[in-house]
Structure 1
Amino acid sequence: MTGLLAFHTATDVCEVALRTGEGVKTLRERRPRAHAERLVPLALEILDGDMSFVRGVAVSAGPGSFTGLRIGVSTAKGIAFGRGVPMYAVSTLAALALDARREHGEHESHIVIPVLRARREELYIGAYRIDDGDVRALADDTVVADDALDQWIAGVTAADDRILIAGPQAAGIAATAASDRKTLDLSPGAASVLALSAGRPDSYIVNDISSFEPYYCKEFVARTPRTSIFDRLPF
């Protein structure tokens, strides 16, 4: 879909991606706790200031940083309502699994275990099989303790499956969990959020935008923001 705009704000990386007639453009910044300040300017920059080009908006909807998720989802909602375009919500871990598959090599068959640091000694974790770009979840994204990593993987995979643990701190997480499985350190990005939404839009479309909430995977207690993210949108 030309004009599909995508956000990733679930980690300390803030990234936007846009599908144009020439391909996919991305802009990325790594500025922890600056997503509220930088997301809309990055979106306007990649659009050359022309919001009318947007035909749909996709967002990494969790799990991940509670604050980052709220900023990304709120901004996506604002654009969807303001422009009257569809909104798509993609699991952060599914996007990370696709990133890992592309980075590691699509010719090798692995089950990807995407992991993100939650709180101390806890992980957000998922399990995905990827065939010809189709990402299939083998289990629901969830939260596990560090020392339960291998046990959880064994419960959702077969003994002869080739496993790849992927994420921003994958090697360190595997070492902490005393796991000897293959690892790949990388951060999820907006391009895979865009690719999944464009490839299977019916699977990721948000039917009730007003009531949609991020996939926190953990209990979340909301705080009242000082300013609204909607104040930054140019319409």
Structure 2
Amino acid sequence: MNNYILNIETATKNCSVSIAQDGKTIICNQIAEEGYSHAERLHVFIEESIAAAGITFKDLVAVAVSQGPGSYTGLRIGVSSAKGLCYALEIPLIAVDTLQALAAQATIENGLIVPMLDARRMEVYSAIFSNKLEVKRAILAEVITEDSFQEYDEILYFVGDCADKCKEVLTRSNFVFLEEIKYPSANEMSALSYAKFLKNDFADVAYFEPYYLKDFMITTSKK
């Protein structure tokens, strides 16, 4: 039996959808735009991906969604769509760590991977993983300074959309920025979601909420 999983990634500016067969991506549609076009693009990408894979929605065994941290609005759009599909199709929901999916794009032999996503000003969402994607430090919302990550002697490979603002501060010789890896993608979610599927590691469709990490702040202009 072929296990087809639909993967949805909307935690950042990248709106990304993939269809995976037994943990391997067979089709991936994505676009990264400054204007956050997720609401318009996501359902089109889902329909196109299903069609391109030559399957129907009834062939899906699960839907996986990037759980955050990331954009409040982007996460809401992705999770709402994933939940709706799971309800309609009566299939399980899988939650994939956004930073782990981002880290999965880096192929390294030695050292550690530090995925970072922009959280305004000098603050980032970050975690640290081994080259086998094992968690070495849990997710934090932290302000980056010249003292950040000083306790690590290993080579640290930084990935994510924070290179421009962080590379001027993080200047130690063991810090390497892989600037071509900017956003998480549904492509790397395929293996991660399938591993969870095999372990029956499912989220509760009714109660699952995205991992915002910190409260969403609404600012109003002063009169």
Equivalent residue, structure 1, for 2:207 = 211
Q: Which amino acid aligns with 2:159?
A: A
Equivalent residue, structure 2, for 1:229 = none
Please report how far the alpha carbon of residue 221 of structure 1 lies from its aligned counterpart in structure 2 after TM superposition.
6.1
Q: Percent identity?
A: 31
Alpha-carbon separation, structure 1, partners of 2:199 and 2:113: 20
Whether 1:136 aligns to 2:129 is: no
Higher helix share: 1
Equivalent residue, structure 2, for 1:77 = 83
Equivalent residue, structure 1, for 2:106 = 100
Q: For residues 203 and 99 of structure 1, do their structure 2 counterparts lie closer, same or farther at Cα, with a shift above 3 Å needed?
A: farther
Alpha-carbon separation, structure 2, partners of 1:19 and 1:178: 37
Contact 2:25 2:190 in 1 (8 A): no
Alpha-carbon separation, structure 2, partners of 1:173 and 1:39: 29
Please report how far the alpha carbon of residue 202 of structure 1 lies from its aligned counterpart in structure 2 after TM superposition.
5.9
Please report how far the alpha carbon of residue 86 of structure 1 lies from its aligned counterpart in structure 2 after TM superposition.
1.1
**SS of the residue 1:55 aligns to:** strand
Whether 1:190 aligns to 2:186 is: yes
Please report how far the alpha carbon of residue 203 of structure 1 lies from its aligned counterpart in structure 2 after TM superposition.
6.4
Q: Which amino acid aligns with 2:118?
A: R
Alpha-carbon separation, structure 2, partners of 1:140 and 1:23: 27
- Residues 120-177 of structure 1 deviation map (CA, whole Å, 9 limit, x = unaligned): 221111101132xxx21112211111216x52x245xx42x2211111342x233232
Please report how far the alpha carbon of residue 199 of structure 1 lies from its aligned counterpart in structure 2 after TM superposition.
2.4
Alpha-carbon separation, structure 1, partners of 2:202 and 2:136: 22
Alpha-carbon separation, structure 1, partners of 2:131 and 2:41: 32
Alpha-carbon separation, structure 2, partners of 1:10 and 1:110: 26
Contact 1:174 1:183 in 2 (8 A): no
What TM-score comes out, normalization by structure 2 length?
Answer: 0.84
Please report how far the alpha carbon of residue 204 of structure 1 lies from its aligned counterpart in structure 2 after TM superposition.
8.1
Whether 1:51 aligns to 2:63 is: no
Contact 1:111 1:128 in 2 (8 A): yes
Equivalent residue, structure 1, for 2:94 = 88
Please report how far the alpha carbon of residue 62 of structure 1 lies from its aligned counterpart in structure 2 after TM superposition.
0.3
Residue segments in structure 2 that go unaligned for 5+ positions in a row: 219-223
Q: Out of 15, 35, 40, which is 1:37 matched to?
A: 40
Whether 1:4 aligns to 2:5 is: yes
Query: How many residues are matched?
Result: 208
